[in-house]
């Protein structure tokens, strides 16, 4: 079942050339994307950003909450895209390691960041997406690092 979880999580990842900032800001593009992903989102879906400025976490509920999380995160970015490096099967969880690339408003230079997300699958649907600002913390969350 866990390989199916990996495939499910990978099915919602954007292609490397997709400008995620545009996808989430544009109402029509958002509506089209959520129409595809809503059927595989658990009714209790939540999105959590871990490791804020004071070690705190911020929780967003439902697919609209996910959109709000992205709008908050993407506020300073003119463009933003993700390239998946690896998806690691962790049973009910899937660790996704990626590189993200963004261009800040008013800049022509792209900035590269590492991202580490833990996705939890329950009842064959995506129930939680945890975004870690620290790769080490993400590895700890799935038991791959102490």
Is residue 9 within 8 Å of 121, Cβ to Cβ?
A: yes
CB-based contacts of 57, cutoff 8 Å, min separation 6: 48, 49, 50, 51
**For the chain, what is the domain count?**
1
Weakest mean pLDDT among 16-20, 45-49, 123-127, 132-136: 132-136
Residue with tokens 């975004």: 131
C-alpha 35/C-alpha 77 separation (Å) is: 25
Tell me, yes or no, whether 30 lies in a domain: yes
- Digit-coded pLDDT (tens) for 101-137: 999 999 999 999 999 999 999 999 999 999 998 899 9
Question: What does pTM read for this prediction?
Answer: 0.92
| Average pLDDT of every residue of the chain | 93
Tell me, yes or no, whether 83 lies in a domain: yes
- CATH for 123: 3.10.450.50
Tell me, yes or no, whether 20 lies in a domain: yes
C-alpha 92/C-alpha 126 separation (Å) is: 10
Helix, strand, coil percentages for the chain (3-state, nearest 5): 35, 40, 25
Between 69 and 51, the higher pLDDT residue? 69
Tell me, yes or no, whether 84 lies in a domain: yes
Is residue 48 within 8 Å of 130, Cβ to Cβ?
A: yes
Residue with tokens 């992903």: 37
Cα 25 to Cα 20, 88, 124, 127: the distances in Å are 8, 30, 28, 23
Tell me, yes or no, whether 27 lies in a domain: yes
Tell me, yes or no, whether 72 lies in a domain: yes
Q: Dig out the tokens for 20 from the structure.
A: 């995620």
* Residue 9 reports pLDDT greater than 90: yes
Q: Dig out the tokens for 114 from the structure.
A: 């590492």
C-alpha 46/C-alpha 54 separation (Å) is: 21
User: Domain residues for 99?
Assistant: 2-141
Tell me, yes or no, whether 135 lies in a domain: yes
Tell me, yes or no, whether 146 lies in a domain: no
């Amino acid at each position: 079942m866990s390989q199916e979880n990996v495939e499910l999580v990978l099915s919602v990842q954007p292609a490397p050339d997709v400008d995620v900032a545009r996808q989430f800001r544009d109402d029509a593009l958002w509506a089209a994307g959520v129409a595809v992903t809503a059927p595989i989102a658990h009714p209790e879906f939540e999105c959590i950003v871990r490791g804020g400025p004071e070690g705190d976490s911020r929780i967003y509920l439902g697919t609209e909450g996910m959109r709000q999380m992205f709008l908050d995160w993407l506020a300073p970015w003119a463009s933003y895209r993700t390239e998946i490096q690896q998806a690691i099967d962790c049973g009910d969880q899937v660790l996704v390691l990626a590189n993200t690339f963004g261009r800040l408003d008013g800049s022509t230079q792209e900035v590269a960041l590492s991202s580490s997300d833990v996705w939890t699958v329950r009842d064959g649907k995506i129930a939680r997406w945890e975004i870690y600002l620290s790769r080490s913390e993400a590895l700890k969350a799935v038991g791959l690092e102490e």
